[in-house]
Structure 1
Amino acid sequence: MAVPRILIVGGGYVGMYTALRLQRRLRRGEAHVTVADLDSYMTYQPFLPEAAAGNIEARHVVVPLRRVLPSCRILSGRVTSVRLDERRAEFSPHEGPRLTLDYDYLVFAAGSISRLLPIPGLAETGIGFKTVEEAIHLRNHVLGQMDVAASTPDEEVRRRALTFVFVGGGYAGVEAMAELEDMARDACTYFDGIRREDMRWVLVEATDRILPEVGADMGRWTAEELRRRGIEVRTRTLLKSAEGGRIVLDDGDEFDSDTLVWTAGVKPNPLVKSGDLPVDERDRIKADAFLRVEGTDFAFAAGDSAAVPDLTRPGQTCPPNAQHAVRQARRLADNLVATIRGERCRPYMHKNAGSVASLGLYKGVAQVYGRELRGFPAWFMHRTYHLTRMPTVNKKTRILMDWTLGLFFPREIVSLGAIQHPREEFTLAARSGS
């Protein structure tokens, strides 16, 4: 009898944790597991704000798939279509001809991408905050803008360079802005002529509150805390235009900025519509409580791209967050193993334990099992919780070392702007020598 082939589409939370679980639970030779993703590493996104602020080395928030999944085949490239009727997926590697991947069992875990709106200038000037590359770029950019401001007497240039706009008041936007503002505040010490009061940080949120995940009261406290730090929190406000760096808000305010960070929501990966996967009105894959794709007994889905029933809240689906993704991955892997062995599957059920958010060094907010925390206790809980969830002892140790060193030494304030265009100096040298 042929050995079953398992194809995992996506190497993020769900993809990697599912593969890890399968690697532990499958007997030798019981199945062949292939993981296909654009990157050969998993990014632990809750640590991206700290990586952007320089509290954690960027390489320490990513987990190399080939190291942690030695029993799996890792393919780096883009899956372009997934078909259930033929049990086949099309794969385009970074280099070389396209491949056809046949499978017996499918795990669809392609995740989500930033949800952009048709706002003039957004696509040309904005930057997201979902990848480690974006976090590194944003850190270099903010410090680079401070370099610009400290090196010119032109007030208009300084004002534009020191204005930072974040759109989206959820976890990503609030944590990224709070951590970077905290970093920039510390960095002012080393930039002649730049005071914290010279910088303008603007958080734009379309709804009436920020951080809805931690509850209304803690969301209001967070907004007040940010305002005490000089951050403008604009709720019930929309971005109308960003053409040429000219920020136009629907409350009538207009100003120039060279920094626009877009964190206003996500949407399922477009791959969900590339084949014959059943999707709902929000383009999420329809899944049942056993994490099986609707109408199949061989395909599974979880995470941001799947509409999984929330059995703790009848009639609703599980929210797209890391807490559910990690737990869904474990149940999915167990159910997949049970399916291969002809055993009974179990439904996914998890009651949300709460939420934690970091607002900079020693500052945070949390709601855990109905209990609200703020300030240092919440910040400490945020770090402790996510450290325990970080895969591998190697990465846990490296992050802990980064934090320990941060207690004794100041953060680095170097902007490695050349990373964005590494061949620029070489090209100039070649031109001058010709």
Structure 2
Amino acid sequence: MSRPRIVIVGAGFAGYQTARTLSRIAKGAAEIVLVNPHDYFLYVPLLPEVATGTLEPRRISVSLTGTLPGVRLVLGQAEHVDLDGRRIGLTDPEGNHRELSYDRLVLAAGSVNKLLPIPGVTEHAHGFRGMPEALYLRDHMTRQIELADASDDPAEREARCTFVVVGAGYTGSEVAAHGKLFTDALARKHGSLRDREPPRWLLLDVAPRVLPGLPEHMARTTERVLTDRGVDVRMGTSVDEATKEGVHLTSGDFVATRSLIWCVGVRPDPLVGDLGLPVDKGRLCVDEYLNVPGHPEVFACGDAAAVPDLNHPGEVTPMTAQHAWRQGKTAARNIAASYGRGERAPYRHRDLGFVVDLGGASAAANPLQLPLSGLAAKAVSRGYHLMSMPGNRVRTGADWLLDAMLPKQAVQLGLVRSDAVPLENTAPELPARSGG
């Protein structure tokens, strides 16, 4: 008899862990196929450090083929699923279309930038979900400081030295914290900017405080660090309209800027909505075993799935890396159970705490609900990331050591153009092709 084929769509936290766990359980008894647009697992929590030159891109890009023995990688973007025929359609990096049959399917397609109907945002803002966007932002910040230094117009110089981040959640707060340190360091290297006011950063959110949903201690620590660093934190405020010259805020103010960074959140991959199955706020409805009702051969986990939160009846688990990582393990074990290996189990997990790295020697953390800040939180934050990364730990640690000892390299490579990272992109992990 031929081996059953298990197809996993997406190699984010959920998909990667599903593949890794299945590989260890199956030991060659099943064909495990991982469909992903690129050949690496991206450790997203450290993306702000790539955007600001602390880490090199390959440090947080873990090879799939190098760390997933027994898993067959198929490069491609999944575009549709034939549930009746048990096949998925995909497009490979060279534009070729193909189909894959499956006996079991795991939908772990992840998420894309969340869009809001605000005039001009789609045209003038850039998100922060994938490697292309991080590399673009690093070049963009460097370029704006260099152009400001070359300008004789005070208004233009001020606009180019102003950066607006929308969304004061986990990602937005870290981008603003790291970005402020990065642009301040760049400005000190340019003669005409050295003796002027340092670059201006604004962090906006309609929420009443930064890090909504995280513990109050972490929010207070984060806001204090940002404010002390010179970031203009404005809660209860967002963008009313974005233009080429700047942004109109809901407060009535106009801020001249060339940099609008969109970190308002994420939405499930559009692949989920195209299935014609029940969804909850765009996330595919599953039971506590991560099974899609009516389709026992289909599982879903991570940001793409609305997984019941058994610790909070009536709610679904939040879209966090912690949940995605552990849901992948549960999905793998339940798939194995469907073939008679072990018994299936419901997904249940309590958060073990959160870490927010704010650049420099600053961080906020609450491991096992113990509130920490400063150097202690920094040590916990970096220790947590090193333990969580499935590879590249030594190289990442070496980069952190070098960053602490040496000045940042202020150069722009120009490898990612603005039109390659549109905000409205169904695959932010890949640069958009010319023309859309």
TM-score norm. by structure 1 comes to 0.92
Structure with more relative contact order (C-alpha pairs < 8 Å, separation 6 or more): 2
Give yes or no for contact 2:291–2:298 (8 Å, CA) kept in 1. yes
Distance 2:5 2:277 in 1: 19
Give yes or no for contact 1:104–1:298 (8 Å, CA) kept in 2. yes
Match in the other structure for 1:429? none
Give yes or no for contact 1:125–1:245 (8 Å, CA) kept in 2. no
- SS, match of residue 292 in structure 2: coil
Matches within 5 A, 1:73-112: 73-95=72-94, 97-112=96-111
Identity %: 38
Distance 2:83 2:342 in 1: 22
Give yes or no for contact 2:317–2:323 (8 Å, CA) kept in 1. yes
Match in the other structure for 2:424? none
Match in the other structure for 1:333? 332
Distance 1:19 1:126 in 2: 35
Give the C-alpha shift of residue 115 in structure 1: 0.6
Give the C-alpha shift of residue 232 in structure 1: 0.6
What is the aligned residue count? 417
Q: Could you report, residue by residue, the CA deviation over 1:34-63 in whole angstroms, capped at 9, with x for unpaired residues?
A: 111222222100010111121111111111
Distance 2:210 2:344 in 1: 39
Distance 2:378 2:228 in 1: 18
Distance 2:341 2:409 in 1: 55
- SS, match of residue 396 in structure 2: helix
Give the C-alpha shift of residue 418 in structure 1: 5.5
Distance 1:267 1:347 in 2: 25
Give the C-alpha shift of residue 162 in structure 1: 0.2
Tell which deviates more after alignment, 78-87 or 119-128: 78-87
Match in the other structure for 2:200? 200
Give yes or no for contact 1:163–1:200 (8 Å, CA) kept in 2. yes
Question: Structure 1 residues 14, 364: closer, same or farther in 2, change over 3 A?
Answer: same
Distance 2:137 2:97 in 1: 34
The letter of the residue matching 1:241 is E
Give yes or no for contact 1:307–1:318 (8 Å, CA) kept in 2. yes
Q: Could you report, residue by residue, the CA deviation over 1:358-406 in whole angstroms, capped at 9, with x for unpaired residues?
A: 11111011122222111221122111101110012xx111101111222
Give the C-alpha shift of residue 213 in structure 1: 4.0
- SS, match of residue 411 in structure 2: coil
Match in the other structure for 1:359? 358
Match in the other structure for 2:264? 264
Matches within 5 A, 1:297-316: 297-316=296-315
Distance 2:180 2:43 in 1: 22
- Tell me whether 1:378 sits opposite 2:377 in the alignment: yes
The letter of the residue matching 1:249 is L
Give yes or no for contact 1:6–1:105 (8 Å, CA) kept in 2. yes
- Tell me whether 1:409 sits opposite 2:406 in the alignment: yes
Give the C-alpha shift of residue 340 in structure 1: 1.5
Give the C-alpha shift of residue 342 in structure 1: 5.6
Give yes or no for contact 2:49–2:55 (8 Å, CA) kept in 1. yes
Distance 1:221 1:362 in 2: 13
Q: Could you report, residue by residue, the CA deviation over 1:175-224 in whole angstroms, capped at 9, with x for unpaired residues?
A: 01101111222233311122472411000101111112432243133223
Match in the other structure for 1:8? 8
- SS, match of residue 148 in structure 1: helix
Matches within 5 A, 1:65-144: 65-95=64-94, 97-144=96-143
Give the C-alpha shift of residue 419 in structure 1: 5.0
- SS, match of residue 171 in structure 2: helix
Distance 2:9 2:57 in 1: 25
The letter of the residue matching 1:105 is R
Distance 1:138 1:37 in 2: 24
- SS, match of residue 371 in structure 2: strand
- SS, match of residue 18 in structure 1: helix
Match in the other structure for 1:425? none
Give the C-alpha shift of residue 337 in structure 1: 1.2
Give the C-alpha shift of residue 275 in structure 1: 2.4
Distance 1:314 1:274 in 2: 28
Distance 1:264 1:398 in 2: 31
Give yes or no for contact 1:84–1:276 (8 Å, CA) kept in 2. no
Give yes or no for contact 1:214–1:367 (8 Å, CA) kept in 2. no
Give yes or no for contact 2:90–2:99 (8 Å, CA) kept in 1. yes
- SS, match of residue 193 in structure 1: helix
- SS, match of residue 8 in structure 2: strand
Distance 1:139 1:102 in 2: 40
Superposition RMSD on alpha carbons, in Å?
1.6
Q: What residue ranges of structure 1 are gaps of 5+ in the alignment?
A: 422-434
Distance 1:408 1:342 in 2: 51
Distance 1:37 1:153 in 2: 47
Give the C-alpha shift of residue 21 in structure 1: 1.3
Match in the other structure for 1:274? 274
Match in the other structure for 2:417? 420
Match in the other structure for 1:245? 245
Matches within 5 A, 1:43-62: 43-62=42-61
Match in the other structure for 1:284? 283
Tell which deviates more after alignment, 64-73 or 6-15: 64-73
Q: What residue ranges of structure 2 are gaps of 5+ in the alignment?
A: 419-436
Tell which deviates more after alignment, 122-131 or 70-79: 70-79
- SS, match of residue 330 in structure 1: helix
Matches within 5 A, 1:165-176: 165-176=164-175
Question: Structure 1 residues 419, 271: closer, same or farther in 2, change over 3 A?
Answer: closer
